[in-house]
Amino acid sequence: MTLLSERSLVFAQADVATVSAYVNEHVGQHRIRLPVRGRPRASILHRSFSSLDLCRLSYGGEVQVTSPALESVFHLQVLLQGCCLARGAGRERVYAPGQMLLINPDEPVDLTYSEDCEKFILTLPVRVLETACLTQGHPLPATGVRFEPQAGGAAAVGNFLALLELLCQEAEEVTTPGTSVLYERLVASKLLALVENSTWSSPTTLVAGGCRFERLQAFIDEHLAEEISVARLMQVANVSRRTLYSLFERHVGIAPGDYIRQCKLERVRQRLLDPRASSVTVVALDLGFLHLGRFAELYRKRFGELPSATWKRGREEGAPRG
């Protein structure tokens, strides 16, 4: 995973005070407490993209960073290596590589980083999240958009990290006018779908969303052998296309089509392991995989072996002993 390349390098192995001053000017106001001994060397990569700021930062020593509430921006951090101790609201939590920390605009910052810590930082203006909320059809909460301390599940985080990687690549390229704004909206929409926040807080909304998704899962399971379109799923759940995609992002972290394909592949595997399966071709066609070469590649990527190997093992395990 590459979140910003050397093309965005600002300082490498520089004095911590120099890097801290740059962060104060371009990323967000903070104070830094350095270790008593040693002279750590800091590095920073930075890009601005529309109203977003993207930053990869390491201080080279164990440091404590504090800041009053940032007020106008949401502050997202992804730990790339090392660990981070976050303090706030009477609680402490340690973040490990791959985990996300999201700080709301009204929350003060108190973070202690390990000596080997490297992190990616994304700042998003409050207005971007509020616009995304309204665009998705959610009423803006009276207290504004607020994220819960716990980020989404591992699958959702992985899905979001892939988007951040693409965002960084685009930020380092010469893009057409308007592209950066589209990415800005996409990142905001993904965060609202993946990380629990105040737009989810209505019990009625949460229960209804859960029931709708269970209904969708049951429908997909019963109709796997058929061609299941997005329009059909919208009818089953009685929701708009945007809400349907949000439901899948929230519950499984992937789009409806990807989820259906995964379910089909799982069903194929179950049937191939049955000694009564006549052939790979018959099972694949029954589940709607008409292009057998592409099917075999999808299956191999999913399960680490060709479908013929699964079928052969099923027949061997089902053969009479003796």
- pLDDT, tens digit, 9 for 90 and up, residues 197-248: 877 754 444 444 557 788 899 999 999 988 899 989 988 888 888 888 888 8
Quick check: is 151 in a domain? yes
Q: Which two tokens stand for residue 237?
A: 């759940």
In a domain, 111, yes or no: yes
Quick check: 300 pLDDT over 60?
A: yes
308 located within any domain: yes
The CATH number of the domain holding residue 282 is 1.10.10.60
Shared domain check, 146 and 171: yes
Quick check: is 296 in a domain?
yes
Same domain for 156 and 61, yes or no, is yes
Residues 247 and 282 in one domain: no
The total number of structural domains that make up the chain: 3
Q: For residues 41 and 123, state if they share a domain.
A: yes
CA 53 from chain centre, in angstroms, equals 18
2 within domain boundaries: no
In the predicted structure, residue 111 carries a pLDDT above the cut 80: yes
Residue whose pair of structure tokens reads 């392991």 in the numeric block: 273
In-domain check, residue 272 = yes
Mention every residue, 6+ apart, whose C-beta is less than 8 A from residue 259: 220, 248, 252
Residue 85 backbone dihedrals phi, psi, to 5 degrees: -100, 120
Query: Does residue 241 share a domain with residue 101?
Result: no
Residue range 60-97, pLDDT digits in tens? 999 999 999 888 999 999 999 999 999 987 788 999 99
Q: 169 with 286, same domain?
A: no
Q: How far apart are CA 5 and CA 180, in angstroms?
A: 18
Check whether residue 24 and residue 173 sit in a common domain.
yes
Residue-number span of the structural domain to which 279 is assigned: 259-318
Q: Are residues 219 and 195 in the same domain?
A: no
Closest CA to 130 of 104, 166, 168, 161: 104
pLDDT of 284 over the 80 cut: yes
Q: Alpha-carbon distance 153 to 157, whole Å?
A: 6
- Give the pLDDT confidence score for residue 150 in this predicted structure: 56
Residues 183 and 267 in one domain: no
Total-model pTM: 0.64
Residue 1 included in any domain: no
182 shares its domain with 239:
no
pLDDT at 153: 44
Q: Decide if 147 is inside a domain.
A: yes
Domain shared by 146 and 86, yes or no:
yes
Residue range 157-211, pLDDT digits in tens: 677 888 999 999 999 987 666 788 889 989 998 888 888 787 775 444 444 455 7
| 218 and 178 share one domain | no
What residues contact residue 191 under an 8 Å CB cut-off, 6+ apart? 76, 102, 124, 129, 147, 160, 197
Kindly state the DSSP code that residue 142 receives in the 8-state scheme: T
The pLDDT value recorded for residue 317 is 77
- CA of 80: how far to CAs of 70, 101, 121, 208, in Å? 23, 12, 10, 36
If you average pLDDT over every residue of the chain, what do you get?
86
b/e map 10-32, b = 16+ CB within 10 Å: bbeeeebeebbebbeeebbeeeb
Residue 146: what pLDDT?
Answer: 86
Query: What's the per-residue H, E or C state across 13-34?
Result: EEEHHHHHHHHHHHCCCCEEEC
